Structures are given as C-alpha cells and as structure tokens.
C-alpha cells in the first residue's frame, strides 16, 4: 500500500512509514493512492464467515504487500478477540454493537489493531516511540488499553478537563505503566491542536520520536472498515438498499466506511449523524466547510468543531461537492432530541442505547421518514450505555448493570497531569518527559 498526503504532497510512503509517522511531513493526513477491491464472489460467501475471518480477509487485501500473511493473521488473532454483533430491532432496522471490546467502545478495534501492528514494525528498532493522542472520550481509554505495557511504546493522552464522563476519565487515567494522561484546561479541539503543534515542532521531534493514535493515523482507521463488512454479513434484508448511519465527530468512522465501500461493500448511502456540532451537515447543505469552536453535549465523543478526517473524505471524492452530497446525507440533533430518542428506542424496541447511537437513530429515522422496512439499515452503536449511565438511567428510568470491565477502573485512583491549553506548557512538559 502506498499513501500520500491530503495537503498536496504526492510523495509516496509505505504503510509502515505512515503508521509510524502518524501525519505527513506537510501536516496532512495519509490516504492510499489506490484502495483494492474485492471480487463479487467474496460477498456471495461473506455471510458464512465469522467476524474474525472477515477482518483477516480485509487486512490481507489491504496490507498483503507490506506484512506477510502469517503475521497479518497473528495481528488479527491478537487484536480482534471480541465480536461486533448485529441486533435486529425491526424489519430493516439493525444495530451494530461495537462495544464488546475491553473498554466497551468502537475504538477498541482500531486501537488494538494499531498497537499489534506497530509492535510488529518496531521489533527491530532500538528507540522508543511516543504516541501522542487527543481524546474527547473513548479514544483515550481504547488507546490506553490497547497500548498498555506494549514494549518500546509510551503513550501520552490529552483530554479536556471536565468534558469527558467519569467512567471515560477513570478508564484513561488509572492504568499507569507506560500510559500518561494530561488533563487540558480546554476543549477537545484544543487537545487536537496541541497534538498537531507537537508533531510540527522540529526541535521537539529531533529529541523524541512521535506518532499519533487518533483516527488521523491511518493505522487506526483501516481496521474500522472491518466491522462495516461484518454489519452487511450479519443483516438479513440484503436485497434492499444498504444504508449505514454513523454517529460522527472527527469523521474517522465514516471515512473507514467509505473506504469499505470502495473495496466493494455495497453501501447505498451513508448518513453522517452529528450533535449540534454540525460542521459537516452544514457543509452538505451549503458546500462551505466552516470549522468553529466545539460545543459540549451529552454525546461528548462527537464534540468536534473541526473534524480532521473530513479532509480524507474530500480527497477521496476529489473535492467534488456534488459527489460527496450524493453519497452522504448529514443531520444534526440537540441534546433534548437525543434524550427523546433514548427514551423512544427503549419504549418501542426494549433496547438501551447510548447518546451517540441515539443520534445515529435520529438521523436514520429522518432519512427514512420512519419507513425502515424499505432499507437494510444499520446504526453504529459506538459505546455501551453504561458509559453514560447517568443520562441513560435518568431518561429511561431503568437500572443499568455496570459491566465488570468498568467496575474495576471505577475503584482505582485517577492519575493525571493538569496543563493549560497553551502549547508552550505542553512543549515544556514534553521536553522534560
């Protein structure tokens, strides 16, 4: 696989270089020159394959020129140790549950795959790699868990103080070991800006070897395509248009879905479901991309005012607004509407959903005008409702059993380093770290 930068540099780099660098030299995001495609015969057998085998097929298609097939299989067997089941709520209406990993969020797939892949690439290196990652919630815990005690790698996680749930904060601040949490007095956008500034700091990069584990890193992004194939494989109404509603913040998840469609997955439409941080839905209405400061909501992983991965989407579609608009529909919703959806799903379908999945439901409902049976539709449920226990219990009146994986970290002591949102403070810390 050869990749280039969304910022215009056509210098070709290998997947190994891309995953280790995180971002391109010119500050852009890596995107493949070509995305290979499955033969139609693959989709005739896909329903017979378990998820892990589907993931192996996709990884081999993408990376066979860079990683031996036996090593790809080893990475998949070690990283994808949990399922991504589909729950059918009604004819044409399905939920893809992406919360069965160790931190109960969809980002476990990408973080664990990236950790195992980097470990493979780094086995002959004699220097330490520092992963810098910004999180609005679930990324931090997934990366911390995925990279915990990985030899040759240390992780620094930047998260916005007071803007992640208690459970999310405990998950990313209680591991210790090679994991350090920086509590930033600002928003997720500030955290993301700080990480980008550190990557662009030539003097700092001469002293330390940095990479990122956000979805700006192609190594996090590619494995997220695995579960799109699994979603299609597990649904029943394959003769109907396949529609996927994606709760969207930094737009890595949607980008992975688009890449899956280029690989041949027969997705008819993508729905970009956002909270009131509606930069992309506004773009789809007007053709103008206008970043703005993020606003805090109850679906906090989507509180992004300048979604980085949209640059990849525009590059994939060659900056053709009409092509993007024809393939992606975008809708945004308020917290009150999100609460209403949580309640509605519980009452109609006896299903507990988290705020992000609820936004996905609202967007799909708006697109389908309640006529779900006209489509083979899937909503990506990106986190276990227990991670937003106060909100879900308050809205539904139902008690949620906290999974054992969460109970353990809630009993641990938070460990974080507080910093301002000024880059100088982060720079000083990194120079002495």
Strands across the sheet containing 328-332: 86-90, 93-97, 376-381, 242-247, 267-274, 328-332
Query: 70 phi and psi, to 5 degrees?
Result: -70, -35
**Catalytic machinery residues:** 107
Would you say 110 and 133 are in contact if contact means Cβ atoms under 8 Å apart?
no
Helix axis angle for 51-63 and 226-234, nearest 10°, is 140
Would you say 16 and 46 are in contact if contact means Cβ atoms under 8 Å apart?
no
What is the separation, in whole angstroms, between the first and last Cα of the chain? Answer: 34
DSSP summary character for residue 243: E
DSSP summary character for residue 46: G
Q: Is 322 helix (H, G, I), strand (E, B) or coil?
A: helix
Contacts of 117 (CB under 8 A, 6+ apart): 19, 67, 75, 219
Q: Distance (Å, rounded) from C-alpha 193 to C-alpha 172?
A: 20
Instruction: Find how far residue 271's CA is from the centre of its chain.
Output: 16
Would you say 109 and 226 are in contact if contact means Cβ atoms under 8 Å apart?
yes
Would you say 54 and 264 are in contact if contact means Cβ atoms under 8 Å apart?
no
Would you say 111 and 145 are in contact if contact means Cβ atoms under 8 Å apart?
yes
Contacts of 178 (CB under 8 A, 6+ apart): 147, 148, 149, 150, 153, 154, 155
Query: 328 phi and psi, to 5 degrees?
Result: -120, 130
């Amino acid at each position: 696989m050869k990749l280039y930068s969304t910022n215009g540099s056509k210098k070709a780099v290998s997947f190994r270089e891309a995953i280790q660098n995180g971002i391109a030299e010119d500050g852009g995001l890596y995107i493949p020159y070509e995305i290979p495609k499955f033969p139609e015969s693959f989709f005739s057998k896909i329903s017979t394959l378990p998820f892990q085998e589907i993931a192996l097929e996709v990884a081999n298609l993408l990376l066979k020129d860079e990683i031996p097939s036996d090593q790809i299989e080893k990475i998949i067997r070690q990283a994808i140790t949990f399922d991504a089941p589909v729950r059918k709520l009604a004819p044409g209406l399905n939920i893809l549950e992406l919360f069965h990993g160790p931190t109960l969020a969809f980002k476990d797939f990408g973080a664990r795959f990236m950790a195992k892949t980097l470990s493979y690439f780094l086995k002959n290196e004699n220097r330490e790699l520092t992963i810098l990652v910004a999180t609005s919630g679930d990324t931090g815990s997934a990366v911390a868990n995925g990279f915990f005690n990985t030899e040759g790698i240390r992780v620094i996680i930047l998260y916005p103080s007071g803007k992640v749930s208690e459970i999310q904060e405990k998950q990313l601040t209680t591991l210790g070991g090679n994991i350090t949490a920086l509590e930033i007095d600002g928003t997720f956008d500030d955290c993301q800006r700080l990480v980008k500034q550190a990557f662009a700091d030539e003097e700092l990069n001469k002293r330390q070897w940095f990479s990122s584990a956000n979805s700006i890193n192609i190594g996090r992004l590619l494995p997220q395509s695995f579960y799109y194939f699994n979603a299609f494989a597990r649904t029943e109404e394959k003769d109907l248009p396949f529609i996927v509603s994606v709760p969207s913040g930094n737009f890595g998840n949607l980008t992975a879905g688009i890449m899956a469609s280029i690989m041949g997955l027969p997705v008819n439409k993508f729905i970009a479901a956002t909270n009131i941080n509606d930069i992309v839905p506004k773009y789809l209405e007007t053709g103008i991309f206008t970043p703005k400061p993020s606003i805090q909501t109850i679906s906090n992983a989507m509180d992004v005012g300048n979604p980085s991965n949209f640059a990849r989407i525009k590059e994939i579609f060659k900056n053709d607004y009409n092509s993007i608009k024809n393939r992606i529909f975008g809708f945004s919703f308020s917290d009150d509407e999100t609460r209403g959806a949580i309640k509605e799903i519980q009452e109609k379908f006896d299903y507990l959903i988290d705020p992000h999945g609820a936004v996905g439901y609202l967007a799909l409902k708006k697109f389908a005008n309640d006529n779900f049976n006209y489509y083979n539709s899937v909503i990506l449920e990106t986190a276990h409702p227990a991670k937003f226990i106060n909100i879900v219990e308050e809205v539904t009146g139902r008690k949620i059993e906290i999974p054992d994986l969460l109970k353990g970290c809630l009993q641990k002591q938070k460990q974080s380093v507080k910093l301002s949102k000024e880059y100088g403070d982060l720079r000083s810390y990194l120079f002495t770290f």
